[in-house]
Each structure stands twice: as C-alpha cells, then as structure tokens.
Amino acid sequence: MSIIIFYEKPGCVSNGKQKNILRASGYNLIEKDILNEHWTPEVLRTFFGELPIEEWFNQNAPAIKNNDIVIDELNEVQALEMMINDPILIRRPLMRLGDTHKVGFDLDILSELIDISEQYRYLEFEYCSQYIH
C-alpha cells in the first residue's frame, strides 16, 4: 500500500471524510495536525505549486471570511508568513504523496495522481463545515 502524509485540522468532519476516501481507496495515512506543525516558508511553499496565492488560503478561516485579510494585496512572502503565524489560514488538507505535495481535496486532481475508488470520484469534500466536539 502507498502512504500519504495527511495534514489536517483535528476534529474537521470534512478531513475525516477525506481520510476515509483515501483509506477506502487503499492508502495508508500518516495523520498530522496542520495547526501544530512547525512550518517553514520553504516547506509550506512546496504544497502550493503553481496555484495562485488566493488558493493557498482556507476560505473559511475567520480572518478571511471577515475580510480582515485582503489576499489580493499579498505577495508570496507575506502570505507564507501569515500562514506560519496563524496556521488556521492554510487551506486543508495538505498531502504529501512521495515527492508530490498537494493542497486541498479536489478529487479530479487527485484522481490524476492516485487511484480513487470510483464511488467517490464525483463527491465534494473540500471544505470543513462542521467540527466533531
């Protein structure tokens, strides 16, 4: 079985569903707490690839929802610094599959990289709308 390192926010229902899909598709997961990881700009940056900065951010983070942060005005260095200082801003999950790093749970994109069980390919599990208490 292949191993995926899965950075999540503990208690996020959507992250739980995402992990279940990956396990049902035959992957072993190493689960890590995205909020307590000791991020550096260099390591965090590897997950975002060529995505625009706005797609690096968790759109449900309070500072984003309340418009306290104007993402369009940030450069790469500022965005990474903000995320390191407040990891709730990082879009989830972050995943490492061997040498490949990904952000978010887009099944179309993931299906190009790994085998996802057919029954899950058209479901949406990107955003965390509830939390386990």
User: 131 has which bridge partners?
Assistant: 12
In what helix (H) or strand (E) does residue 84 lie, and over which residues does it extend?
A: helix 76-85
Identified catalytic residue from 4, 8, 9, 12: 12
Residue written as tokens 């887009």?
A: 106
- Calculate Rg over the CA atoms of the chain: 14
d(CA 101, CA 46): 6
Cis peptide preceding 10, ω within 30 of 0: no
Longest C-alpha distance within the chain, in Å? Answer: 43
12 carries an active-site annotation: yes
The catalytic residue positions are: 12
